[in-house]
């Protein structure tokens, strides 16, 4: 499905793609026998992400009034990130000559230069952004919209701060990777592409938060 989904796809296709990818990653990680704390935390974050994506899919299916096209890039990137992390995990297992019953090298697993905890934070950023947009869209039609939406201003500000820190981290990695790539004749092309896509998506998440925050004000 990943090859068929892009920014030109409709929002329902993108939301379904992100949901299915998050479920697939959860099932893959959960299928391993070893679940140290950081892996359990990742599973919890994936469950929370799924709990946000599922109602988003249902909302888009049930009404044409929900204009959630602003989530196109975050949803696409969220799904792709889950797919790419899953592939990294399976490759890490293969390189260690292990299988799902005896794999324990979770600390060696990296994605875009980050560890499992950083990947969990990445997912948390998408979850928060999607949740903010979903909640705003839902409450906008409520009779208590003004008061209820105002309660989410703190969440928006926290998410903006977290995303800003994430963007700074991506910029540092991009700078380092570009220099490294020049020395190694393009050996990091795939990681560079993922980081650049992640940067664009993080910027879009920040724009979404700023846009919804301005509506509250």
In this structure, of 48-57, 95-104, 147-156, 165-174, the range with the lowest mean pLDDT score is 147-156
Confidence of residue 206 (pLDDT cuts 50, 70, 90): very high
Average pLDDT for residues 161-183, to the nearest whole number? 88
Q: Is the pLDDT of residue 145 over 80?
A: no
User: How far is Cα 121 from Cα 158, in angstroms, rounded to an integer?
Assistant: 13
Q: What percent of the chain has pLDDT over 70?
A: 87
The pTM assigned to this predicted structure is 0.88
- Rounded Cα distance, 122 and 175, in Å: 19
Q: Are 200 and 170 in contact (CB under 8 A)?
A: no
**Element spanning 137, H or E:** helix 116-139
CA distance 17 to 4: 10
Distance from the Cα of residue 211 to its chain's centroid: 19
| pLDDT score, position 2 | 42
Tell me what pLDDT residue 116 has: 97
Q: Is it the case that residue 1 has pLDDT exceeding 60? A: no
* CB 194 within 8 Å of CB 181: no
pLDDT in tens, 14-34: 999 999 999 999 999 999 999
Q: What is the DSSP string of 49-85?
A: HHHHHHHHHHHHHH-SS---GGGHHHHHHHHHHHHHH
What pLDDT shows up at residue 141? 63
125 three-state secondary structure:
helix
pLDDT score, position 196:
94
């Amino acid at each position: 499905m990943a090859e068929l989904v892009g920014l030109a796809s409709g929002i329902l296709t993108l939301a379904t793609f992100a949901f299915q990818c998050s479920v697939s990653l959860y099932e893959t990680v959960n299928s391993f026998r070893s679940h140290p704390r950081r892996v359990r935390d990742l599973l919890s974050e994936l469950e929370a992400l799924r709990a946000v994506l599922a109602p988003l899919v249902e909302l888009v299916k049930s009404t044409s009034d929900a204009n959630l096209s602003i989530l196109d890039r975050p949803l696409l990137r969220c799904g792709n990130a889950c797919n790419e992390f899953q592939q990294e995990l399976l490759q890490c297992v293969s390189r260690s000559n292990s299988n799902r019953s005896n794999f324990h090298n979770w600390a060696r697993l990296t994605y875009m230069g980050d560890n499992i905890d950083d990947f969990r934070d990445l997912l948390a950023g998408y979850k928060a952004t999607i949740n903010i947009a979903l909640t705003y869209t839902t409450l906008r039609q409520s009779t208590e919209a003004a008061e209820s939406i105002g309660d989410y201003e703190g969440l928006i500000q926290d998410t903006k701060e977290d995303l800003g820190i994430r963007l700074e981290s991506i910029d540092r990695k991009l700078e380092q990777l570009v220099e490294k790539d020049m020395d190694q004749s393009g050996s990091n092309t795939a990681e560079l592409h993922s980081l650049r896509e992640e940067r664009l998506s993080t910027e879009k998440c920040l724009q979404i938060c700023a846009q919804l925050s301005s509506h509250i004000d």
